[in-house]
Every structure is written in structure tokens, then in C-alpha cells.
Amino acid sequence: MNMSYQIGDMQFSLTADKIHPVTGGMVISGANVTLQLPFQPKRYYRHGWQSWSPTGWIDVDRPFAPLHPAIMRPGQVDPLYALDEKPNGSWLGAVEAPDGDVILLGALGLESHVALDDQTLHGWYEQGSGEWFVANDPEQIVFAQYATLLGERLGEKRASTAASGLHSTPPRVWCSWYSLYTAISEERLLRILNDLGPFDGAPWPDRQDRQGLPFDVFQIDDGWQKGIGDWEANEKFPSGMDSLAARIHATHRTAGLWLAPLLIVPSSGIYRQQPDWLLHDEKGKLVSAGFNWGEPLYALDTTHPAGLEWLAALMKKVRAWGYDYIKLDFLYAGALPGVRHNGMSREAAYRHGLKVIRETLGEAYFLTCGAPILPSLGLCDGMRLGPDVAAYWDSNRDSRLLNNLAAPGVQNSLRTTLHRLWLRPLVHVDPDVVYFRARENNLSPEQKQILQYLVEITGFKATSDLPAWLTPEERAALADFLKAKPPVKQTGRYTFEIGGRRVDFSSAMPLPQPLDSLEKIHSSLLCWLANMPRVLKVFDRFSRWMLARSLRES
Ligand code: 9PG
């Protein structure tokens, strides 16, 4: 059907199978839909596939060059579109109209994509057909209405069901990653637990601390396990993970644990013993899920019955150890393009796996990370919506020379999370940790502050600061921050009123400037080097060694 339509106060030409008006716009259906704009758009809202994928408003006439190194792409963006420089994005896309309103084309189903071609917004489903929402209104209204429709179809965050109240309010989490990285041990974590101080046993969120730092959750991140796929305590955790959970419970805190259950690496037992559980392509080759920990990453086929049973048993096991807050990471692996055991399409297969996880986790708080956004909605309690922060603003070498907007750093993280705040009604938004420490930190006080402001907006308050690294003033400021619940009002795309203060995030939003010719030479050398598994492996060893050394000294 090709028709001319009035949406808001503008006339569009639309191609779709079915069209019906809804509050704030219209829902159209079709495998392929187009929306002809009556003007030449200058800015496009690009939505990244998974937690870490670059998201935000971009200039239409500036090509969005592929990020580097290529070997990392499957772990950072949707590999199907990694080389597409035209404005495009996962599930939805939007443009600014000349009057300042925003025109959105947003899928209401999975495996869908939007691109802008000159004056045409084009949306398609990878398989079959589905619905789309089309609207033309002020930005916040358009995105709020889209979120409502997504919630009706995919589900919203859970109301509090657990006695602990664990799901109603975003949690306050001490997470081990952004200070100790993989250099964690039972001994170190117990010391930190002790240093956090006493806490009362009142149900979350009514807890008031007794001098201690009021964290609801003590979350153990990467570094406890024997290997990726080998989810047992390693030699640094001699008493076992169940004993550590009990020690955490003794401080009246919820015990949290990190796992990456959909990743399989060559050094794991599963890789050798269950090769048929792995995701393959049409040619029978393993599908790459990127590269990390000095190894190539592969994916579990979540439609393989035995693989799925293993996954469920793993979730049961960590629950039985006493962990009630589960951070599952690198989840995109389950939704990569490939040929699956039962022929299911990729995001449906992922959601199938996630449902099993959700059911097995029962009442536990489920945080998804590195997760494809729409296919995770309704099945998790919290979701990371940006790349990792780090104790620096941006790293010239990583994010600019490699043109990598998914690389760790506060600027990349702020930019992507801020552009996804419209998802707040559907899920607790994890913007990653804040920093209060001056020690082991290159962030300026202003940079730390702006990150704290973002966290005040989402309410999901986490840090990795070691109590021993904090001055008494920093510790007091962190405690106040954890207790505060300031009223938040959005006043513009990048402006908010937080507890009566006007906060403007605009200065953190710009994309890096294009490289000059000397930088281009540096960049090609770096891209070439960073794409070699052997170099990455040496780099991984070196960074672990550096970390161990700096922690010994501190
Ligand atoms: C643990 C970390 C933390 C962190 C997660 C995730 O592309 N990469 O190689 C890549 C590595 C690590 C990473 C993201 C991307 O961080 O976001 O909070 O849990 O894993 O390894």
C-alpha cells in the first residue's frame, strides 16, 4: 500500500501493508516499509544493537566509519551492518524535522533494522514481517510512546515480588570490576567487605546503614572462575563461591555474581567436548563472537537442547551457591547471525535462551550486559545501556585512533547511555559505575561529577572504589550519594534538573574530530596491530601483569 499520510502536522508518503492510527502516531505493518520525508534531514538517531554499541544523534552527511580493530566488531556492533557507513541502526531510527520535532520509525518486533537513504526512512525485518510505530512529535513524547508500545509487546520491568523488594527500586551495588579487574581473590574481597562496614538487615529499598556504606549488593565480577565456560571457583577462591556468598549475606547484603554463559572459548572443556553446541555459519565454520582474554570468542547455540539444559543447570548452580543478583555478560553472542540447531532466527533464538535463564533464576535480580536491547526487554530487571566506563574520559589511542565509540571510557559510556534513557520505563538502566576516588584515577572532579549526575537520573548506583582508596571526605560523599534520591526532571535533549540543579550533558556528546594525516598513519598501524590475535594475547598478558604490579604497590 502506498499512501500519503498526515502524521502530526506533516504530510508523508508511506509504503506498508497495513496502517492504523494509535495514540501519538500510527502502527503500520510490513516486511519492508518506507517513509518518504517531505524534507532533507540533517541529523539521524542511530541506535546500536547491544549494550556497548554506539548510539546517538549523528550528522547525516558524515559517514559512520567502521570501528577497529575488525576482530572486535562482533563483540561491539551488529556484525551484519558493521561496514555500513550510511545512517542506519537496530530496530529504530529517527530524524530531526525542520520545526525541531522528531520523526521516528521504530520496529515493534525483533530482527528489524532502519536506515536513512536520502529522504527516505526505510525499515525491514530480516525474516517475515512485523509492526512499526511511526510518529512525528517532540522528541521525548515520540520516544515515550514508542517505549509504551514496546512494553505492551515485549514486557516491562517486574514489580516487586520478592520479599527483599529487590526488583522495585534500582539497586546500589559494589562491583569488583573497575578497580581490581581480574585481580580478585577471596582474601581481597573479604577485606573490602569488611571495609564497607556494617549494614542493617531491613528490606531493600528501606535500608538505612549503620555507619557502613549502604550498598544493597556486593557483586563479584570476572576473575573468580576457572575459565570462560568453566564456571567453578578458581584457586584464588579456596573456600568456594558458596562460602563467599554466605560471608556477604552475613553483612545483610545481597550476593552478586558475574558470568558470561553464552560465550565458549577454545580453552574451555565445552569447546572440546561439545562442539555441536557451538554456533556455526552456513559453511559450517564457527561464528566469531569477537576476541577477549587473549582468545577468540565463540557462541553457544541457545536452541541446542543439551546446551540449553547445561545453561539452566548452571543458573541453578549459582542460585544454590547463594547468589541472588546475577550479572550475565557478553549476551549478544546468543543473537549473532548463524545457523541454529532448530533453524530459529537469531533474536528469537536468543530470547528463547533468555526465557529459560529467567525462569531458572526465579526471584533473583537479573542484570543483562553486552545484551541486544529489544530482545532482552521484559526478561531482565536491569540492563547496561552503554559501553564500559574507565578511570579516564577518553583514551586517544583506543577510541579516536581506532575510531571505536564502543571502547571503554566515560565519554563513550555517557554518550550512549544518555541517548537510551527513553528505555527507563521498561528496565532499570545500568549506566555503569561512578568514581569517588582520586586515587588510581585520571578523571577530573568535573568529569566524576557529570558521571554521578547521570547515575542520579537512572538511580542504578554502583561503584568499584575500594574503601581503602577513599579519603574520609570521599567516603562521606559516596555515602551521601548512595542515600540521596533527588527529584529528576528532563528539560531538553541533554539538560536535566537534578535536585534543583541544572545539569547540561551537551559537552560530553560530540563525536571525535576526524583524524589529520599524521594521525591517519598512526591509526592504520594501530588498526593493523590490534587486529592480530597474537598481539592482543601479549597485550592481555601485559595488562594483567601491570595490574598485578600496581595493586601490589597500592
Ligand atoms: C568483565 C567485564 C565487566 C564489564 C562488562 C564487560 O570488547 N571487549 O573485549 C570487552 C571486554 C570487556 C567488556 C566489554 C567489552 O566489559 O561490560 O562490566 O563485567 O566485561 O570482563
Give the pLDDT confidence of 481-529 residue by residue, as tens digits.
Answer: 999 999 999 999 999 999 999 999 999 999 988 889 998 999 999 999 9
pLDDT of residue 396: 64
Q: Check pocket membership of 292 for ligand 1, CB cut-off 6 A.
A: yes
Confidence of residue 163 (pLDDT cuts 50, 70, 90): very low
Tell me the CA–centroid distance for residue 91 and ligand 1, in Å.
Answer: 24
Residue 265 has pLDDT above 90, yes or no: yes
Tell me, what amino acid is at 409?
Answer: G
Mean per-residue pLDDT for 54-67?
A: 94
Extended beta strands in 297-456, E state: 298-299, 325-328, 365-368, 382-384, 428-430
Q: What is the pTM of this model?
A: 0.97
Residue 331 has pLDDT above 70, yes or no: yes
Pair 515, 54: CB distance under 8 Å: no
Q: Check pocket membership of 216 for ligand 1, CB cut-off 6 A.
A: no
- Compute CA 358 distance to the chain's CA centroid, rounded to the nearest angstrom: 18
Q: In Å, how far are 53, 222, 323 from 238, measured between CA atoms? A: 37, 16, 18
Ligand 1 atom showing the smallest separation from residue 327 Cα: 19
Residue 52 has pLDDT above 60, yes or no: yes
Residue nearest to atom 13 of ligand 1 (CA): 388
Tell me the CA–centroid distance for residue 315 and ligand 1, in Å.
Answer: 20
Mean per-residue pLDDT for 432-444?
A: 97
What Rg value do the Cα atoms of the chain yield, rounded?
23
pLDDT of residue 199: 82
Residue nearest to atom 14 of ligand 1 (CA): 388
Tell me the CA–centroid distance for residue 300 and ligand 1, in Å.
Answer: 18
Q: Check pocket membership of 214 for ligand 1, CB cut-off 6 A.
A: no
Residue nearest to atom 4 of ligand 1 (CA): 388
Average pLDDT of the chain, as a whole number: 94
Confidence of residue 5 (pLDDT cuts 50, 70, 90): confident
Q: Check pocket membership of 177 for ligand 1, CB cut-off 6 A.
A: yes
Q: Check pocket membership of 75 for ligand 1, CB cut-off 6 A.
A: yes
Q: Check pocket membership of 72 for ligand 1, CB cut-off 6 A.
A: yes
Residues whose CB is less than 8 angstroms from the CB of residue 278 and which lie 6 or more positions away in sequence, other chains included: 264, 271, 286, 287, 298, 299, 300, 301
Q: From 76, 177, 384, 402, give the residue whose CB has the most ligand 1 atoms within 8 Å, as the site to mutate.
A: 177
Helix (H) or strand (E) holding 291: strand 291-292
Residue 457 has pLDDT above 90, yes or no: yes
> Alpha helix locations (H) across 234-334?
241-249, 269-273, 305-321
Mean per-residue pLDDT for 115-133?
A: 97
Tell me the CA–centroid distance for residue 388 and ligand 1, in Å.
Answer: 7
Ligand 1 atom showing the smallest separation from residue 388 Cα: 17
Q: Check pocket membership of 398 for ligand 1, CB cut-off 6 A.
A: no
CA distance 155 to 158: 9
Tell me the CA–centroid distance for residue 62 and ligand 1, in Å.
Answer: 29
pLDDT of residue 399: 75
Q: Check pocket membership of 474 for ligand 1, CB cut-off 6 A.
A: no
Ligand 1 atom showing the smallest separation from residue 292 Cα: 9
3-class SS of residue 420: coil
* Neighbouring C-alpha atoms within 13 Å toward the C-beta of 297: 27
Ligand 1 atom showing the smallest separation from residue 432 Cα: 18
Q: From 222, 389, 434, give the residue whose CB has the most ligand 1 atoms within 8 Å, as the site to mutate.
A: 222
Residue 3 has pLDDT above 90, yes or no: no
Tell me the CA–centroid distance for residue 274 and ligand 1, in Å.
Answer: 25
Q: In Å, how far are 102, 173, 428, 458 from 376, measured between CA atoms? A: 26, 21, 12, 18
Instruction: Say if residue 285 is exposed, middle or buried (CB neighbours under 10 Å; 0-12, 13-18, 19+).
Output: exposed
Q: What percent of the chain has pLDDT over 70?
A: 96
Q: From 67, 388, 410, give the residue whose CB has the most ligand 1 atoms within 8 Å, as the site to mutate.
A: 388
Q: From 180, 330, 463, 536, give the residue whose CB has the most ligand 1 atoms within 8 Å, as the site to mutate.
A: 330
Pair 226, 232: CB distance under 8 Å: yes
Q: Check pocket membership of 388 for ligand 1, CB cut-off 6 A.
A: yes
- 154 phi and psi angles, rounded to 5 deg: -105, -15
Confidence of residue 204 (pLDDT cuts 50, 70, 90): low
